[in-house]
Structure 1
Amino acid sequence: MKELSDEQLMKEVAGGNLEALRFLFDRHHVYLYNFLYKMCGDEMLSEDLCQDVFYNIVRYRTSYKNGKFVSWMFTIARNSLSSHFRQHRAKNAPLDELPLQVEPPENETSENISQLQLALNQLETSDRELLILNRLHEIKYKELSEIVGSTPGAIKTKVSRALKKLRKIYFQTVQE
């Protein structure tokens, strides 16, 4: 089963073979956790939401329509994150106000990363989400358009605009 694609494994899960979910979990749980952590900045919440996403994959397995599995998984993740913050408004800051967590690459100084993190934190949540998925997780425009419910052309434009905003904010931060 390890050699099957994500989509083939998900077809197995949708058909009732829940053992196939273990392979999907092994392939994607770190990837998913990192996205959730970068969006909310809370390790425990990210772990809980990651488990919630895989629970919902099982729960809604019959609604899987043979599309790209990663797109479907991130759609569920986005919905889980939004639902959590809607349900827990009193306890949590709004998702728009949460700081982004970025780990420095080996060749970057912590000063550059902290300036980048400050700049990313100033972006709107939707822009930050697009940049995390597209630039950090390398999700292509077509898949990203499925995740956010748009067209690839519109997503490409939004990512480009978000990068321009990030550059402007970053260079203002560096100059200060």
Structure 2
Amino acid sequence: MSELEFQRCLREIDNGKKESLKKIYDYYGHAVYSYALSIVKCKGLAEDICQDVFLKVWNNSDKYRKINNPKSWIMTITRNTSIDYLRKYKREDIIDEFNIAVDKDMVEEVNQKIHINEVLSELKEEEREVVILHAISDLTFKSIGEILDKPLGTVTWRYREAIKKLKEKITL
């Protein structure tokens, strides 16, 4: 989604046009969900956060500044909302429940996801965050630096270190 298209959608949202929010959701929804999931580690909670993020986009569409990158703006909202949820549920156990049908292909897919999550969980939080924002959410290192409020060099260094660790774990 281009900057101009994003701004047009925000103007339409200001005028109450729900279809424009759907366009933004269709474009950014997966990245928002993935990033929230990487922070809270709970599918249900990540879904709630995703809904809240897009409600915040709806309610704060007038606060977007042209100098921002649309994806950076939305991912910053996602990060802040996820952290707020973690603070809110700090004393509660967040448990990710899922039912697995006895399907060989599905079991293999679940096993692969579990392996990927195990390997990612061995990274430091800062490294994992950068890998997910870059590899899954397809953000540039510059945008990631803006979201995390870190210098570009720090972000690229964390990414390189994380990839080096991931390669070591996967080849074992």
Q: Distance in 2 between matches of 1:114 and 1:52?
A: 27
Considering fraction of residues, name the structure with more helix: 2
Q: 1:112 to 1:46 in 2, by over 3 A?
A: closer
| Identical aligned residues as a percent | 23
**1:14-93 mapped onto 2 (5 Å cutoff):** 16-19=14-17, 20-66=20-66, 67-92=68-93
Q: 1:150 to 1:23 in 2, by over 3 A?
A: same
Structure 1 vs Structure 2 CA RMSD: 2.6
Indicate the larger mover: 162-171 or 25-34: 162-171
Q: Distance in 1 between matches of 2:129 and 2:114?
A: 18
Deviation (angstroms), 1:86: 0.9
Deviation string 1:84-119 (CA, Å, 9 cap, x unpaired) is: 1111111136xxxx9xxxxxxx9xx76665444322
Q: Distance in 1 between matches of 2:87 and 2:31?
A: 24
- Residue pair 2:33, 2:47 contacting (<8 A) in 1 also: yes
Deviation (angstroms), 1:57: 1.5
Q: Secondary structure at the match of 1:65?
A: coil
Corresponding residue for residue 9 of structure 2: 9
Superposition TM-score, scaled by structure 2 size:
0.75
Corresponding residue for residue 135 of structure 1: 135
Q: Structure 1 unaligned runs (5+)?
A: 99-105
Q: 1:5 to 1:151 in 2, by over 3 A?
A: farther
Q: 1:63 to 1:42 in 2, by over 3 A?
A: same
Deviation (angstroms), 1:40: 2.9
Q: Structure 2 unaligned runs (5+)?
A: 97-104
Indicate the larger mover: 111-120 or 159-168: 111-120
Q: Distance in 2 between matches of 1:39 and 1:8?
A: 30
- Residue pair 1:53, 1:77 contacting (<8 A) in 2 also: yes
Q: Distance in 2 between matches of 1:80 and 1:115?
A: 27
How many residues were matched structurally?
Answer: 154
Q: Higher relative CO (CA 8 A, sep ≥ 6), structure 1 or 2? A: 2
